[in-house]
Amino acid sequence: MSCELKAKDRTGVINLIFTCQPAGAQYVSIGIKDCIGIVHGGQGCVMFVRLLISQHLKESFEIASSSVHEDGVVFGALDRVEQAVDVLLMRYPHVKVIPIITTCSTEVIGDDVDGVVRKLNDGLLKEKYAGREVHLIPIHTPSFVGSMISGYDLAVRDIVKYFARKGESNGKINVITGWANPGDVTALKHLLSEMEIDATVLFEIEDFDSPFMPSGNTVSHGNTTIADLTDTANASATLELNRYEGGKAANYLEETFQIPTLIGPTPIGIRNTDTLLHNLKTLTGKPIPPSLVRERGIALDALTDLVHMFLADKRVAIYGNPDSVIGLAEFCLDLEMKPVLLGDDNAGYVNDPRIHALRDGVSHDMEIITNADLWEMEQRITQNDLRLDLIFGHSKGRFTAIDNQIPMVRVGFPTYDRAGHYRHPVVGYAGAIWLAEQMANSLFIDMEYKKNKEWLLNVW
Closest CB to ligand SF4 among residues 45, 268: 45
Amino acid identity, position 219: V
103 binds ligand SF4 (CB under 6 A): yes
Task: Please name the residues in contact with 251: beta carbons below 8 A apart, sequence gap of 6 or more.
Answer: 261
Based on the shown chain and the rule CB under 6 A, indicate whether residue 44 belongs to the binding site for ligand SF4.
Answer: yes
- H helix runs in 58-164, sequence order: 70-75, 78-91, 104-108, 113-122, 124-127, 148-163
203: nearest Cα among 427, 37, 50: 37
CB of 147 to ligand SF4, least distance (A): 10
Nearer to ligand SF4, 46 or 426 (CB): 46
Only one of the segments 40-48, 56-64, 180-188, 265-273 lies at the binding site for ligand SF4 (rule: CB under 6 A); that segment is 40-48
Minimum CB distance to ligand SF4, residue 414 (Å): 14
Q: Is the distance from CB of 38 to CB of 85 less than 8 angstroms?
A: yes
Question: Residue 368 interacts with ligand SF4 (CB under 6 A)?
Answer: no
Binding track over 137-176 against ligand SF4, x by CB under 6 A: ------x---------------------------------
Among 20, 97, 191, 262, binds ligand SF4 (CB under 6 A): 20
In the bound state with ligand SF4, the residue whose beta carbon lies nearer, of 27 and 252, is 27
Spatial CB neighbours of 40, under 8 Å, sequence gap ≥ 6 = 66, 68, 77, 80, 81, 84, 100, 101, 102, 103, 106, 111, 113
CB atoms within 10 A of CB 457: 11
Return the DSSP state at 224.
Answer: B
State the distance between the two ends of the chain, measured CA to CA, in whole angstroms.
Answer: 33
Residue 453 near residue 434 (C-beta atoms within 8 A): no
Closest CB to ligand SF4 among 17 and 45? Answer: 45
From 38-46, 265-273, 406-414, 444-452, give the range in contact with ligand SF4 by CB under 6 A.
38-46
**Given the complex with ligand SF4, which of 68 and 439 has the nearer CB atom?**
68
Q: Considering the complex, state which of residue 149 and residue 201 has its C-beta at the smaller distance from ligand SF4.
A: 149
List the beta strands (DSSP E) in 132-227.
135-139, 173-176, 199-202
In angstroms, rounded to a whole number, what is the distance separating the alpha carbons of residues 401 and 58? 23
Instruction: Report how many residues bind ligand SF4 under the rule CB under 6 A.
Output: 9
Listed in sequence order, the residues at least 6 apart from 77 whose beta carbon sits closer than 8 Å to its beta carbon are 40, 66, 68, 106, 109, 111
Stretches 41-49, 150-158, 365-373, 393-401: which one binds ligand SF4 (CB under 6 A)?
A: 41-49
Give min distance, CB of 253 to ligand SF4, in A: 28
> Residue 138: beta bridge partners?
100
Choice between 18 and 310, CB closer to ligand SF4: 18
Contact between 22 and ligand SF4 per CB under 6 A: yes
Nearer to ligand SF4, 20 or 306 (CB): 20
Residue 106 lies near ligand SF4 (rule: CB under 6 A) = no
The set of long-range contacts for 47-53, using a CB threshold of 8 Å and a minimum separation of 24, is: 48/19, 49/19, 49/22, 49/23, 50/26, 52/19, 52/23, 52/413, 52/414, 52/416, 53/23, 53/26, 53/27, 53/414
Q: Does 36 bind ligand SF4 (CB under 6 A)?
A: no
What's the closest the beta carbon of residue 282 comes to ligand SF4, in angstroms?
40
HSE, CB side, 13 Å, CA atoms: give it for residue 432: 30
Q: Which is nearer to ligand SF4, 20 or 439 (CB)?
A: 20
Cβ at position 137, least distance to ligand SF4 in Å: 18
Contact between 104 and ligand SF4 per CB under 6 A: yes
**Residues found near ligand SF4 in the complex (CB under 6 A):** 20, 22, 41-42, 44-45, 103-104, 143
